[in-house]
Structure 1
Amino acid sequence: MMVFLVILVVSGALIVGALWGAYGSLSEWVQGNLLAIAGGALMLSVALQMLEPAVNHSGLLATITFTLLGAAVFTGTDYLIDEKMQSGGGGGLLAAVTLDGVPENLALGVSLIGGNVMQVAALAGSILLSNLPEAAGGAKQMKEDGNSNKKIIMIWIGAAVLLSVAAIAGNQLLRDVPKSTLSLIDCFAAGAVIASLATEIFPDAFKKGNHWAGISTAIGLILALGLNQLGG
């Protein structure tokens, strides 16, 4: 029961965020600072929950290799979306959610196996902090690009279903996988997160939230730090 409840909350944040962005009143300033909060939370998540454990379990060389691979895959996909497919920033944020979200939710599913409530809360909370504003910002930008609300919501529902499947797969299929292998999944996710922060999240956050985005980034990091301490 706990497995499906956590997955529902984390993935449901994408749908709630998309509804907010498509139908709600979301000023550019609010949108930018929400993205900055998400970015701050993701910064800490990458360092403490993905890369640091990966070095211990898989070694420095493997950590570097798979982190660079994740960054390269995200950057290449984001380039195709923005430059070749002529998609607006909403498509880039959708790519950010899915490319780093699939490995993250695999890891979330694995963490649910152990049943440590505090560790699950820490990881799920960090993912939730990033999913909600990214979906809201992405849906808002998709709407500005001329997409219908129905199309936008269906796209983000599809993303939520994909991430839910990833979490369930992590919980059911990766129970006996060595930690060294799971760490490589985390490294790939970390690389995608880092690339998305540099190319999508922080530039857009500063553009819309102005210098307040710096403070919001710190707030996001502090919130994630508190969640990480719960899981410590």
Structure 2
Amino acid sequence: MLTAALYGAATAVPLVVGAAAGLRWRIPQAALAALMSFGAGTMIAAASQELFGPAFEALDAVRAGIALLGGAGIYVVLSHLLDRRAGTSAVGMGLLLGAFLDGVPENTALGVSLGEGGLALLVAIAVGNTPEAIASAAALRDDERLGPRRGLALWAAVGVLLTLVTVGAHAAGGAVSPAAVAVAQAVAGGATLAVLSDTLLPEAYREGGWWVGIATALGFWLAFVLG
């Protein structure tokens, strides 16, 4: 149980540290765009290699596809509602929502797979989510209704929840069927693809221009190296 808590905390701490950095310092737009596109590259690799790939092997194509589209649909609908209500914080809240939606299945898989390649998944999660947290916090800091303290509290809450998910999944052990984990992974893959196409990459391109494609490819390559 202690090991599961440490693994869960190891995925949460980079999120909170990244959010704190984005809230504390005003990062130049070019550097922020590079971080966002780099994180997008790692998330593309994670969606195919760590999430949908295993789900597609464990499930039939129809069930895997339904779960994938379900995850994408959940994010798109919630992101649309945020766009209408969150105002200037819509981008930051959208990235936080994406981190939570794909983080829960990722950390569930991490908790179940401890001792069976869990370390590789841990590194992939931390590397992929940290730029997302930095970018989200940088957007949230300019929202007068939230402010740095509330923005950091939101990311800290996400970190705590993801740690608890890891511990809970590990404690459940054999009670979590491989099929259930596969469905969760496919849902997370869909949510990841949606946050990339709906929020992360458009915002990175708007701030950084055409060269962000290089940073995206670099993040994609690094994720495969770590995987």
- Counterpart-to-counterpart distance in 1, 2:173 and 2:77: 28
- Describe the SS at the equivalent of 1:175: helix
- Counterpart-to-counterpart distance in 1, 2:53 and 2:96: 27
Aligned runs of 1:1-232 on 2, under 5 Å? Answer: 1-86=2-87, 87-112=89-114, 115-116=115-116, 119-146=117-144, 147-228=146-227
Contact (CA 8 Å) 1:28, 1:209: kept in 2 or not?
yes
Q: TM-score normalized by structure 2?
A: 0.93
Over the aligned positions, Cα root-mean-square deviation in angstroms equals 1.4
- Counterpart-to-counterpart distance in 2, 1:27 and 1:80: 29
Per-residue deviation, residues 120-174 of structure 1 (Å, max 9, x unmatched) = 2221112111221111111111111223211111111111111111111211124
- Describe the SS at the equivalent of 2:175: coil
Question: Residue 130 of structure 2 aligns to which amino acid in structure 1?
Answer: L
- Counterpart-to-counterpart distance in 1, 2:166 and 2:66: 24
Structure 2 unaligned segments of length 5 or more: list them: none
- Counterpart-to-counterpart distance in 1, 2:26 and 2:81: 30
Deviates more, 1:178-187 or 1:61-70: 178-187
Contact (CA 8 Å) 2:5, 2:164: kept in 1 or not?
no
Contact (CA 8 Å) 2:96, 2:133: kept in 1 or not?
yes
Q: CA deviation at 1:75?
A: 0.5
Question: Residue 154 of structure 2 aligns to which amino acid in structure 1?
Answer: I
- Counterpart-to-counterpart distance in 1, 2:120 and 2:218: 16
Contact (CA 8 Å) 2:72, 2:187: kept in 1 or not?
yes
Alignment length (residue pairs): 224
Contact (CA 8 Å) 2:71, 2:191: kept in 1 or not?
yes
% identical equivalent positions: 29
Contact (CA 8 Å) 1:82, 1:91: kept in 2 or not?
no
- Counterpart-to-counterpart distance in 1, 2:112 and 2:207: 36
Deviates more, 1:176-185 or 1:8-17: 176-185
